[in-house]
Structure 1
Amino acid sequence: MTSTSFFRTGVTLSDLTRYWPAAALLACSTINASAALANDTATGQDAANETASYETTENAPRSEYLSSWLNQNVTVIGSKNIRFGPQQIDDIYLEYEFAGRKGPWDLYGYIDFPKFFGIGNDADSGIFDNGSPVFAEFEPRLSINEVLDKDLSVGPFKEWYLAADYIFDWGHNSDNRQNTLYAGVGTDVETGTPLGLSVNLYKRYQWENYGAANENQWDGYRAQVKYFLPLATFGNGAKLDYVGFTNFDFGSDLGDKAGATRTNEATVATNVLLYSFTHLRFMAVARYFHNGGQWNDDATLDFGDGPFHVRSTGWGYYFGVGWQF
């Protein structure tokens, strides 16, 4: 498809070149959600076999963490071949992340600072080179069981939630900004094994979406499955955990409105190995995209430098080093 036919989506060429990096950051959001699930299990010693806890005294005892219920970390993340835009993104960025349970509230969120270290490929931009300064996501869930003080379990579905997922990309104008709300219900599933499993089903309201054709309307659904499996505990105090999650977006009208370059469905499946001490942690991630970002794989685009094929289906990778507190 030529650039002329692509412009039917309502997105200009300059808009597209600016929102590639933001789309890449959306990919990272699912990684961070999965890694946060493992924070509760991360206790022990650092790599030098010395306790990584804060210093305590008999008169002023302190936990190794700043909060008794909110897990927090700062992580440097490098990404490669991320497929949420028409061109693949490589980036290194800084992230603050939190997760925890307080009363009926199950909370998760993060704030990213794109291209914080000035390292990325040609399609990447961020906080210091006229890209988005902040990309954030917040995923609160409210326990219906606890609010009503009732056992609402049905078979293996033990706890039920009102669930939301809000994503915001602070671009410098509306054509460089994302503002998305997923709202629905969720549940925790008892598997009878060490495998932890939760499921959320959302309906999506799309405000700004980098100028795409589905702005300011309800547009589609997301089915989300998250899973966590402890793998090993080591003599040095470290733990190895597997964290995974799959997002399946469906029922959108974007492909119908925008033409052959976009799709109505997209799937992203993420696999995380998390090796963690009390504070220090390392993660390695392999993520499979199918029409990532609702871009139609193998569609032809031309941004003025000649036609190229979209590669929105395939594998992307992330590596991170972080500090939990």
Structure 2
Amino acid sequence: MRKTLLALSLVAASAPALAADYSDDIHKNDYKFVQFNLMYALNEKPQAKSDSNSGHDYLEMEFGGRSGIFDLYGYVDVFNLTSNDNSNNDKGSDDSQKIFMKFAPRLSIDAMTGKDLSFGPVQELYVATLMEWDGGTKNNGAVNTQKIGLGSDVNVPWFGKMGLNLYATYDSNQKDWNGYQISTNWFKPFYTFSNDTFISYQGYIDYQFGMKDEYATSSNGGAMFNGIYWHSQHYAVGYGLKAYHNVHGIKDGAYGLDTNGFAHYFDVTYKF
């Protein structure tokens, strides 16, 4: 499933520029956000090989923030709002899901220990978790995973602050650990207008590896989202190009599915 990172504009604006420092006030970096994204996705993977130029609309509630030791990002997607019979997320289809949820709480190790653990480009360390669920069942290939690992915020030339997390994956459908995932995300404003609105390059990479043969047809796979967005205080409009390779560990062509290639995303956002 895809995810938007429009909310990183608020994260970037609120985040400290240097190493985290909680020696005087554990809540001094607190912030929160909620926004709604009205999306249209074209050729989202995986999709049936027979579904050429398939698309669907959906509404995404995106939220997150920081409170003391806790850093949170999450979203809930509700698919096919128009109940289009031709949508590849038609609620009447037996093999579709109407909803997808992702929650990614992180616990700051710096804040918990009261120590500055920064080194080199690493600004802050976290115990990182990630939970994904799409409301389907094991029999129709539903996503139901929990991930845990080490997270960080790193300072990268030009990009600035980026999240970088390494997880081990527990598959609740299989009741077993199944591989690892490395994830990174970025938000880079690169042109500001005279009215303080701006254009940003934003995106993420999720790459899975080490998946077991009995649970996946490919041991590795992932996706990269590249978005160009215009932002104002309360609105954003953007386009994203997402590249896929054996996404979700499904080898391209397995089960008659297309899991390689590109998808297009069109987005209008309102920020609360």
TM-score, length of structure 2 as denominator length: 0.84
Post-superposition CA distance 1:154-203 (Å, at most 9, x none) = 222120000011011123x5434432101101111123545222210000
* Alignment RMSD (CA, Å): 2.3
Task: Sort the Cα spacing of 1:235 and 1:120 in 2 relative to 1 into closer, same or farther, 3 A.
Answer: farther
Aligned to 1:39: 10
Aligned to 1:226: 185
Q: Is the 8 A contact 2:56 2:88 kept in 1?
A: no
Aligned to 1:273: 228
Matched, 1:316 2:263: yes
- Superposition deviation, residue 292 in structure 1: 1.8
Aligned to 1:144: 109
Matched, 1:295 2:250: yes
Task: Sort the Cα spacing of 1:183 and 1:129 in 2 relative to 1 into closer, same or farther, 3 A.
Answer: same
| Structure 2 CA distance for aligned equivalents of residues 313 and 192 of structure 1 | 30
Within 5 A, what are the aligned runs for 1:54-133?
Answer: 69-87=31-49, 89-119=54-84, 121=86, 123-126=88-91, 131-133=96-98
Task: Sort the Cα spacing of 1:84 and 1:39 in 2 relative to 1 into closer, same or farther, 3 A.
Answer: farther
SS at match of 2:258: coil
Aligned to 1:58: none
The one-letter amino acid paired with 2:106 is: R
| Structure 1 CA distance for aligned equivalents of residues 182 and 85 of structure 2 | 31
Q: Structure 1 unaligned runs (5+)?
A: 1-25, 43-67, 209-214, 302-309
Q: What percent identity do the matched residue pairs reach?
A: 29
Post-superposition CA distance 1:46-103 (Å, at most 9, x none) = xxxxxxxxxxxxxxxxxxxxxx821111111000111124446521011111021111
Aligned to 1:167: 132
Displacement over 6 Å in runs of 4+: none
Q: Is the 8 A contact 1:107 1:139 kept in 2?
A: yes
Q: Is the 8 A contact 1:142 1:162 kept in 2?
A: yes
SS at match of 2:251: coil
- Superposition deviation, residue 290 in structure 1: 0.7
Matched, 1:257 2:220: no
Number of corresponding residues: 251
| Structure 2 CA distance for aligned equivalents of residues 293 and 179 of structure 1 | 12
| Structure 1 CA distance for aligned equivalents of residues 129 and 157 of structure 2 | 27
- Superposition deviation, residue 283 in structure 1: 1.8
- Please state which structure has a larger fraction of its residues in helix: 1
Within 5 A, what are the aligned runs for 1:212-223?
Answer: 215-223=174-182
Matched, 1:158 2:117: no
Q: Is the 8 A contact 1:195 1:229 kept in 2?
A: yes
Task: Sort the Cα spacing of 1:274 and 1:92 in 2 relative to 1 into closer, same or farther, 3 A.
Answer: same
Aligned to 2:239: 284
Larger Rg: 1
- Superposition deviation, residue 296 in structure 1: 1.4
Aligned to 1:22: none
| Structure 2 CA distance for aligned equivalents of residues 84 and 257 of structure 1 | 19
- Superposition deviation, residue 106 in structure 1: 1.1
- Please state which structure has a larger fraction of its residues in strand: 2
